[in-house]
């Protein structure tokens, strides 16, 4: 193999792969990066048997070939290079990375035992990458990071007519987002949130294809394709919110309320619970901790209804309000220990609703 590539393009592709497929340290082959040079250019691929990602880049191909090298040293070296062009060439049992005045060489791993990336599931539909990234960034906030209950570590991605709906919950909070969906088929999959979180950072604007079959879920964009095994979704989340008993609706500036939550949140007990009291044209936040002291702050709000208050964990309020930054937010409060629903007063795409469960107030 012998190819010449623009350094920044190849460095970006290698870094993207390393982030999407962090690699299992135990097996160097699965921590490897498969480079395939064909007349069409160069393809980088990684597969840890759960996630499989392939990225294509243009290249001047002097000699075709297929090699497997350690992924992280390759990505680190390419990222640190300042020269505009870089040449990858097999020299004996090494892959040499050559740039003017510099030569780095990585050991070749056995490419024949690498599983490759395989064909993608069929295209189920397409979405706009920018809106999808925004919707993913919102929903992954509500997913659990506790691997002991895998089903709560996923985001349910489901098509319904002309909308793609995403739902995630860790049982204490739930996020729902939806955006326009250009259907070619259907999708209903529980996808690991950790991968979607990274994809939310990488997805460009423009068309993104959504791939799905019974066992796998994938996204394709601009010469890149990422697929993953889906989680067991037989116990699927509900994606409709039933509000039976809303007795108070509050509207306020999301950033102003988030600022107050951040400050009063400094004065909470070990559970991080603060009191939200609904007053006359204002929300009053209260925190108290025997050691830290006590805090009280008021934020102007439109209030409709007679409810007096509710208690929440401050970090859930912070996550919920972050989804509506720069906007007016509506809180629909139900009595007792029923959920409170946050939504935008003037919704934009992707539409988002965030559900937070109340807590018992501090004693």
Backbone angles phi, psi at 280, to 5 degrees: -90, 100
In sequence order, what are the residues at sequence separation of 6 or more whose Cβ sits closer than 8 angstroms to the Cβ of residue 314?
261, 262, 264, 265, 268, 272, 273, 274, 287
Interface residue with a copy of itself among 2, 9, 50, 76 (CB under 8 A) is: 76
Question: Which of these segments, 17-25, 72-80, 302-310, 316-324, binds a copy of itself (CB under 8 A)?
Answer: 72-80
Cβ 262 to a copy of itself, closest distance in Å? 6
Smallest gap from residue 157 Cβ to a copy of itself (A): 36
* 5 vs 168, beta carbon nearer a copy of itself: 5
CA 21 centroid distance within chain: 14
Distance CA 174, CA 167 (A): 7
Bridge partners, residue 86, by sequence: 5
CB of 79 to a copy of itself, least distance (A): 9
Distances (CA, A) of 102 to 13, 82, 87, 106, 133: 21, 11, 11, 14, 38
81, 69 in Cβ contact below 8 A? no
Q: Of 214, 240, 242, 291, which lies in the binding site for a copy of itself, with binding defined by CB under 8 A?
A: 291
Comparing CB distances to a copy of itself, the nearer of 49 and 103 is: 103
- Pick from 229, 238, 294, 302 the residue near a copy of itself by CB under 8 A: 294
Contact 344/201 with Cβ under 8 angstroms?
no
Per residue, what are the HEC states of 174-237?
A: EEEEEEECEECCCCEEEEEHHHHHHHHHHCCCCEEEEEECCCEEEEEECCEEEEEECCCCCCCC
CB of 168 to a copy of itself, least distance (A): 29
**Given the structure tokens 């068309």, which residue do they identify?**
207
H-only helix segments in the chain: 7-20, 71-80, 129-139, 193-202, 254-264, 314-322
Nearer to a copy of itself, 69 or 164 (CB): 69
The residue assigned the tokens 């709560």 is: 152
Our CB check for a copy of itself shows the closer of 76 and 188 to be 76
CB of 313 to a copy of itself, least distance (A): 18
- Write out the two tokens for 200: 């939310």
Q: Is 24 in the site for a copy of itself (CB under 8 A)?
A: no
Q: Which stretch binds a copy of itself (CB under 8 A): 170-178, 198-206, 286-294, 306-314?
A: 286-294
Only one of the segments 49-57, 117-125, 157-165, 287-295 lies at the binding site for a copy of itself (rule: CB under 8 A); that segment is: 287-295
Pick out residues in 242-271 that bind a copy of itself (CB under 8 A). 259-260, 262-264, 266-267
Binding flags for a copy of itself, 77-116, as an x/- string (CB under 8 A) = x--xxx-----------x------xxxxxxx---------
Nearer to a copy of itself, 226 or 321 (CB): 321
Identify the residue among 116, 150, 293, 335 touching a copy of itself (CB under 8 A): 293
Q: Which is nearer to a copy of itself, 39 or 101 (CB)?
A: 101
List, in sequence order, every beta strand (DSSP E) within 8-134: 32-38, 41-47, 51-57, 60-63, 65-70, 85-91, 94-99, 102-107, 123-128
Instruction: Note the residues at the interface with a copy of itself (CB under 8 A).
Output: 70, 73, 76-77, 80-82, 94, 101-107, 259-260, 262-264, 266-267, 291-299
């Amino acid at each position: 193999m012998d190819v010449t590539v623009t350094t920044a393009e190849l460095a970006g592709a290698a870094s993207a792969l390393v982030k999407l497929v962090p690699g299992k340290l135990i097996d160097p082959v699965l921590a490897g990066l498969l480079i395939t040079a064909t007349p069409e250019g160069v393809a980088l691929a990684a597969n840890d048997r759960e996630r499989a990602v392939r990225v294509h880049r243009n290249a001047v191909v002097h000699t075709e070939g297929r090699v497997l090298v350690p992924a992280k040293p390759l990505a680190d070296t390419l990222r640190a290079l300042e020269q505009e062009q870089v040449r990858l060439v097999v020299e004996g049992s090494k892959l040499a990375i050559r740039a003017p005045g510099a030569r780095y060489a990585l050991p070749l791993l056995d490419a024949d035992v690498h599983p490759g990336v395989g064909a993608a599931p069929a295209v189920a539909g397409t979405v706009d990458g920018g809106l999808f990234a925004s919707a993913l960034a919102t929903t992954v906030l509500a997913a659990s990071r506790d691997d002991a209950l895998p089903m709560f570590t996923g985001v349910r991605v489901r098509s319904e007519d002309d909308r793609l709906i995403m739902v995630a919950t860790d049982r204490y909070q739930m996020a729902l987002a939806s955006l326009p969906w250009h259907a070619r088929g259907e999708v209903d999959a529980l996808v690991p949130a950790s991968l979607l979180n990274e994809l939310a950072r990488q997805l460009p604007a423009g068309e993104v294809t959504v791939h799905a079959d019974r066992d796998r879920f994938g996204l394709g964009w601009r010469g890149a394709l990422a697929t993953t095994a889906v989680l067991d979704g037989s116990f699927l989340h509900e994606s409709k919110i039933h509000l039976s008993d809303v007795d108070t609706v509050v509207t306020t500036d999301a950033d102003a309320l988030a600022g107050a939550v951040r400050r009063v949140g400094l004065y909470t007990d070990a559970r991080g619970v603060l009191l939200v009291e609904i007053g006359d044209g204002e929300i009053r936040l209260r925190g108290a901790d025997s050691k830290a002291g006590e805090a009280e702050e008021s934020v102007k709000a439109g209030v409709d209804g007679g409810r007096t208050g509710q208690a929440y964990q401050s970090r859930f309020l912070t996550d919920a309000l972050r989804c509506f930054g720069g906007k007016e937010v509506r809180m629909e409060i139900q009595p007792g220990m029923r959920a409170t629903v946050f939504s935008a007063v003037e919704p934009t795409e992707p539409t988002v609703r965030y559900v937070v469960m109340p807590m018992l107030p501090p004693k």
